[in-house]
Structure 1
Amino acid sequence: MTHGSNSAWRVGVLVASLGLLAGCDDAANDQQAEDETGTSGADSGELADLLESVESGESTLSISGAVTSTGEYTTADDPRYGGVSNDVFRPARGGGSSRSGSNADGPYAISIYTDATHEDDPDNVVRAWVTLVLPQGAEAGNRYQVAGFSDADDDQVQAHVRGDGMAWTFSRQVSGSVYLGEHSDRVGAAWQLEAADGRGEDASRVASEGAVKDLPLTLQSEVEYELTVNGETESRLARVTSRGSMLNIGHGVYLYLPSGATAGSYPVQAGRDDDSVRAQFTRHDVDEVDGELTLAANGERFDAEFSIDASGEDDVHLAGNLRWFALEDE
């Protein structure tokens, strides 16, 4: 099943370097190095050919075994999905054993979608996908070994195969490899992997093969700041969650921006009015809040810089930056 990407913008990304073993002179030493590190700078043969067969901006994904891909979408007619599935390349989102990434430095994740049926319910077509979480500092031109999310070493790709609504999950006994042809503000990759839905020999299994070319990076809303409470300082880099004009930046800190806010500077205070930002510290005992937040447009989204002091039984200082977040009407 081949389909085009819906993303239409590009962004610059800083990609950290990952140290790799030097290439060896003979084939046996090349294989030994790949077995030890999960990477190889040598030609990746079949996977490179698979990537070459995909057109720019498109992907291909097949699943076989206990689950069979149908090669067609049903999502356009099914309100459960909220629209047609969209392949995505983005910072890894964390949670459980998954890695967590940032816009600039990764690590990054690739999710590619199709439709599929399980052998236990062959008439139920569900949205299915493969997720590949790349190692920190992954580099184009290398091949990486694949393992399950809870089993992967730092230099391996985390992977699983899933069906929508947790219809089924194949995240155990994962093996295979990923060839990374491009890795910057766009990604190109090809993979072959196997996975099971349990640890035992009797577990159901699937095989997946696919590729994606020139899929642009989708940025996440994120925040980076230092929080000092009663003289103790902690740094944080994390995704931002939001609802309307409320931004949850973690540590029990919530920022409520004025309705219809545009680029400019806003005072920060404990209460809220039409011309100020309200700061709420749910984990700390404060009465007075004072500070400033400066909002800057970034395309259709915003960046912001803030510095806030709060006092009461706790003395709090918060300073940092918000990046690539959206403000929605409440």
Structure 2
Amino acid sequence: MSMNRGSQGTLLAGMALVGLGLLTACNDESASSAVQSDNGASQQGGVQSNGDGELAGLLESVESGESMISISGAATSTGEYTTADDPRYGGVSNDIFRPALGGGSSRRGSNAEGPYVISIYTDATHEDDPDNVVRAWVSLVLPADAEAGKRYEVASFADAEDHQVQAHVRGDGMGWSFSRQVSGSVYLESFGERVSAAWQLEAADGRGEEAGRVTSEGAVRELPLTLQSEAEYELTVNGDTESALSRITGRDNMLIIGNGIYLYLPEGATAGSYPVQADRDDDAVRAQFSRHDIEEVSGELTLVANGERYDAEFHIDASGEDEVALAGDLRWFVLNEE
């Protein structure tokens, strides 16, 4: 069993989360009654109104900003810390609460509306290679209408219904994955700008009775929401208009915002307004439309600092064989990363 100290809090310190009105904040009265209920409540559509004593007990075992996770069976947690400071791990290897990333059967979420995913990390070994300690994690993708003070049934990513939590247990590099025959429950004590939750689940690495199996239980308290970089825009191509909300990808001041749209911001760009054009320029934003035949580009992009990140508004007109108009917002993205 391992204790992981949350390290995402600094990302949201002092920041007002715009558009999170659809998130249900912790209802102290209902959460309190849920924690005190040892008998649970009758299931209705996969949701239980009150958490049971075991899940409440798991939550009581962790302090604010901490988590606890245990994995046993065909894979076993080693009880060691997993942090971004560990040289074996790169990128985000700490516990995280964020919009669901989508892909495959997974739900996909946005900053304001979710659905959201909780991923809790530890170290573990697999019975087929017991000397190889790897990063392992439990991912819990919550329903779109998740609320504080309720308990939810768990199912696999492929089989979960809308009211159930999608869950799996995995090892680093997808070396092993327990993502089938998933069952169990998740209790949300609080849910909003921070999440407190406990879970108990079972999962297998195949469909048959001979499949390897694991059990996992754990809890996390007051883990802050980490926003994703996202773009919301309206794109008109040759008179046809569509609206899109997408996750921003890219690196080195290149922002890929979806639909084959690339925005190259000037090196060292800071808050201010920049012209948009088709050619490279040290003082302008270059726009590229890989899915359309474009020759001329004009427009403007305005950067606004948001803590250590940026937001932006933009409008772009492009012409060639295709006529394109693009306008929208970029939110919570990183520039000038070293």
Q: Shift of the alpha carbon at 1:259?
A: 0.9
1:15 match? 22
Out of 200, 208, 211, the position equivalent to 1:200 is 208
SS of aligned partner of 1:283? coil
- Cα distance in 2 between the residues matched to 1:37 and 1:84: 35
- Cα distance in 2 between the residues matched to 1:74 and 1:294: 39
2:6 match? 5
Matched, 1:280 2:288: yes
Cα pair distance change 1:124/1:6, threshold 3 Å: same
Q: Shift of the alpha carbon at 1:265?
A: 0.7
8 Å contact 1:3–1:58 — kept in the other structure?
yes
1:56 match? 64
Out of 88, 93, 96, the position equivalent to 2:101 is 93
Out of 112, 131, 144, the position equivalent to 1:136 is 144
- Cα distance in 1 between the residues matched to 2:217 and 2:88: 26
- Cα distance in 2 between the residues matched to 1:271 and 1:76: 39
1:22 match? none
RMSD over aligned CA atoms reads: 2.0
Structure 1, gaps ≥5 residues long: 18-27
Q: Shift of the alpha carbon at 1:63?
A: 0.5
Matched, 1:326 2:326: no
Cα pair distance change 1:282/1:171, threshold 3 Å: same
8 Å contact 2:83–2:94 — kept in the other structure?
no
The alignment covers a number of residue pairs equal to: 318
SS of aligned partner of 1:243? coil
**What are the within-5 Å matches in structure 2 for residues 156-195 of structure 1?**
156-195=164-203
**What are the within-5 Å matches in structure 2 for residues 115-134 of structure 1?**
115-134=123-142
- Cα distance in 2 between the residues matched to 1:250 and 1:80: 32
Q: Which amino acid aligns with 1:120?
A: D
Q: Shift of the alpha carbon at 1:166?
A: 1.4
8 Å contact 2:274–2:302 — kept in the other structure?
yes
8 Å contact 2:300–2:314 — kept in the other structure?
yes
- Cα distance in 2 between the residues matched to 1:305 and 1:84: 28
1:23 match? none
Matched, 1:248 2:249: no
Q: Which amino acid aligns with 1:7?
A: Q
2:222 match? 214
Q: Shift of the alpha carbon at 1:16?
A: 4.6
- Cα distance in 1 between the residues matched to 2:274 and 2:85: 44
Matched, 1:47 2:48: no
Q: Shift of the alpha carbon at 1:260?
A: 0.6
SS of aligned partner of 2:131? strand
Cα pair distance change 1:84/1:158, threshold 3 Å: closer
- Cα distance in 1 between the residues matched to 2:84 and 2:195: 26
Identity %: 72
Moved more, 44-53 or 182-191: 44-53
8 Å contact 1:71–1:115 — kept in the other structure?
yes
Q: Which amino acid aligns with 2:76?
A: T
SS of aligned partner of 2:143? coil
Instruction: Give TM-score, length-normalised by structure 2.
Output: 0.90
8 Å contact 1:90–1:219 — kept in the other structure?
yes
- Cα distance in 1 between the residues matched to 2:174 and 2:40: 42
